[in-house]
Structure 1
Amino acid sequence: MALYQWSTTPANNATAGAINWAEGQAPSTVNDSARQMMADVANWFVTPEWINYGLTPTFVSGTQFTVPSDKTSVYTFGRRVLAFVTAGTIAGTITSSAFTSLTTVTVSWDSGALDSGLSGVWVGILNPNTPSLSNLGPLTLNPGSRSVASLSITAASAPVGAEIYLLGNGGSAPSKTIRAFGGTLQILNDAANAALVQLDDAGNCAFSGAVAGSSLSTPGSITATGTITGSNITASSDERLKEDWGQLPGDFVERLATLKSGTYTRTDNGDRQVGVGAQSLRAFLPEAVLSDAKGMLSVAYGHAALAACVELAKEVVRLRALVEAK
């Protein structure tokens, strides 16, 4: 009999499985009872983090099993479990537990899945419903070195990437999720189904809303589906970082005059804005048009506008010279 099955009432432990401490017991049962108690304690010591409640699980699917009667207080949301299957031992976290005529437990496995060879399920000694650990205080990490990370979250096989969930205070939807996903660093919305900010290794940053600041500077690109505001927005433009200069086409000003431009309503947020058509601009100035992973186009307005101003200035100078020559 497992240690957890012993009673906290001494009189009820007269007999407990192979243990027999009944009043007036036969001398021949003393050795066996003592040895069984020693075995039960030793078994508990061998697996100190896990509890075997002796319940027989029934395989339902790769992520579900059932146990008899209402055991939802044992199989609680967030509790860790070990399952013994045909391939060996797998570990996971309970995502739901519900009772009808049986208790049905759903688990998200770290790797692997349940199969018809399911023979047992143990649960972690820590129960989220009655935690013995208080909330952690401030976390202090040694700086470490670049080759040895101070804190590492590895989720190479996780379909959603490596995530950190942050639940804040204040509004009705205060949570945000930070994750590394698809080679980018993202900040997700409360529902964790859309990236509010996305940053890649090239320094390119994409925003799903407005961008505001007194000074914005980036060596890569900033893409926003909303508006970008600030008293000083800059991009790296040092000539020492540039080579292979090329002239704009001779008919650039004429083609600029055909560019689709005006005011419009955004279909994604309903905002009324002014600008140009990316597809129209890409036809003669593709360097000023960027495309994201979904094929949506954006315009480097600052770069394109300044280049256009310079070309228009050249045209003004040329026309002035012609007028003065007459």
Structure 2
Amino acid sequence: MALWQWSTTAAANATADPTINWQEGQAPSTINDSARAMMAAIAVQFQTGWEWQNMGDTPAYVSATQLTVPGNMTSRYTVGRRVRAFVTAGTIYGTITASAFTSLTTVNVLWDGSSALDSGVSEVDVSILNPANTSIGATTVGGALTVNGDVTVAYRGSGSYSDRLRLVGQGNYQPYLRSNGAASQLEFINSADTAATLTLTDGGNLTASGDITANSDERLKTDWEFLPSDFVERLAAVKSGTYARVDTIDGERHAGVSAQSLRDLLPEAVLESHEGTLSVAYGNAALVACVELAKEVLRLRALLEPVK
């Protein structure tokens, strides 16, 4: 027995559920059984959770992330809607990423964690909330929000972008954050929603449409130390040039220095991660090197200029 077997047309409910008989002229002795069966059906729905709806669809396995159901059910299986499926491994949950109808409705699902569909799928349920016509508007959280797990801002619409995460500040500053699937990058969008001001590619490249600065006020600094007198000579020995990265697949060549080589000369410009990987503060190192080279140019100029 299941509520999805009941009809929204009263006259059709005489035998809509094989365990319930509400036909006209039924024997009085059968009424109690039918009433109790209805009570049991409602109790089952209550105990298994009202948030999931078994619509009676018969799912068919296609792949670990794809299933089909009979008929055109795209209005039911909408992108962004949560689904629950019963498979050989147990109960799994996910979010619909695509839904299309030909002779069947094909549904693509991004399953939570490492879950996956298998050929033993026996039932698929949809959540009560449907993003296509949800009754819930904007939700406001008045304090800190803690989420124990992933937060997904899904693709829902046209183009290459995910739905945006809007960051509302005081006044008119309200930038957005979105994923650009075509470019494989994360983008910060300006308040006017007209341009990306900062992008971070999946390969780790960061691009800003404006200047990137760091606090360098002398009032924030103390304990100055001058660089060694042979700094320029040692700088010339730092390993530099172009190279290919072994940790990327873009195939592009890059220019730079060896962090290990620079650390021997300017350890303050070389950082080490907890995994032991070295990185270079290129801006800091380059500016210091330029200043020291400028001093060396002035020193050589003074040597070459005739004494007056």
TM-score where L is the length of structure 1: 0.61
| One-letter amino acid of the counterpart of residue 33, structure 1 | S
SS of the counterpart of 2:40? helix
Structure 2 gap ranges (5+): 167-176, 187-197, 242-254, 272-276
Matches of 1:100 and 1:175, distance apart in 2: 27
Note the aligned Cα RMSD (angstroms).
4.5
Task: Give, in angstroms, the shift of residue 236 of structure 1.
Answer: 7.2
Task: Give, in angstroms, the shift of residue 70 of structure 1.
Answer: 2.0
Q: Which position in structure 2 is the counterpart of 1:145?
A: none
Q: Does 1:127 align with 2:130?
A: yes
Q: Which position in structure 1 is the counterpart of 2:293?
A: 308
Matches of 1:76 and 1:285, distance apart in 2: 59
Task: Give, in angstroms, the shift of residue 85 of structure 1.
Answer: 1.1
Q: Does 1:2 align with 2:5?
A: no
| One-letter amino acid of the counterpart of residue 151, structure 1 | L
CA distance 1:102–1:295, change in 2 (3 Å): farther
CA distance 1:255–1:4, change in 2 (3 Å): closer
CA distance 1:241–1:193, change in 2 (3 Å): farther
Q: Deviations over 1:118-137 (max 9, x none)?
A: 1111110111222122x215
> Which structure is higher in RCO with an 8 Å CA cutoff and minimum separation 6?
2
Which one of 80, 102, 105 corresponds to residue 103 of structure 1? 105
Task: Give, in angstroms, the shift of residue 94 of structure 1.
Answer: 0.9
Matches within 5 A, 1:251-290: 252=233, 278=256
Structure 1 gap ranges (5+): 143-149, 179-186, 199-204, 219-233, 261-276
Q: Which position in structure 1 is the counterpart of 2:207?
A: 208
Task: Give, in angstroms, the shift of residue 10 of structure 1.
Answer: 2.1
| One-letter amino acid of the counterpart of residue 7, structure 1 | S
Q: Deviations over 1:106-163 (max 9, x none)?
A: 1100021011221111110111222122x215x3433xxxxxxx223455xx7xxx66
SS of the counterpart of 1:91? strand
- Number of aligned residue pairs: give it: 254
Q: Which position in structure 1 is the counterpart of 2:40?
A: 39
Matches within 5 A, 1:85-234: 85-111=87-113, 112-133=115-136, 135-136=137-138, 139-142=140-143, 150-153=144-147, 155=149, 190-191=180-181, 193-195=184-186, 196=198, 207-212=206-211, 216-218=213-215, 234=216
Matches of 2:155 and 2:103, distance apart in 1: 37
CA distance 1:238–1:311, change in 2 (3 Å): farther
Task: Give, in angstroms, the shift of residue 28 of structure 1.
Answer: 2.1
Matches of 1:175 and 1:86, distance apart in 2: 33
CA contact (8 A) 1:97 1:106 kept: yes
CA distance 1:314–1:206, change in 2 (3 Å): farther
The sequence identity of aligned pairs, in percent, is 40
CA contact (8 A) 1:85 1:115 kept: yes
CA distance 1:278–1:75, change in 2 (3 Å): closer
Matches of 2:288 and 2:37, distance apart in 1: 81
Matches of 1:175 and 1:251, distance apart in 2: 51
Q: Does 1:57 align with 2:59?
A: yes
Matches of 2:235 and 2:96, distance apart in 1: 65
Matches of 2:54 and 2:155, distance apart in 1: 33
Matches of 1:95 and 1:174, distance apart in 2: 11
Matches of 1:164 and 1:56, distance apart in 2: 29
Matches of 1:174 and 1:116, distance apart in 2: 31
Q: Deviations over 1:200-257 (max 9, x none)?
A: xxxxx974134338xx434xxxxxxxxxxxxxxx3779664667x651427649959x
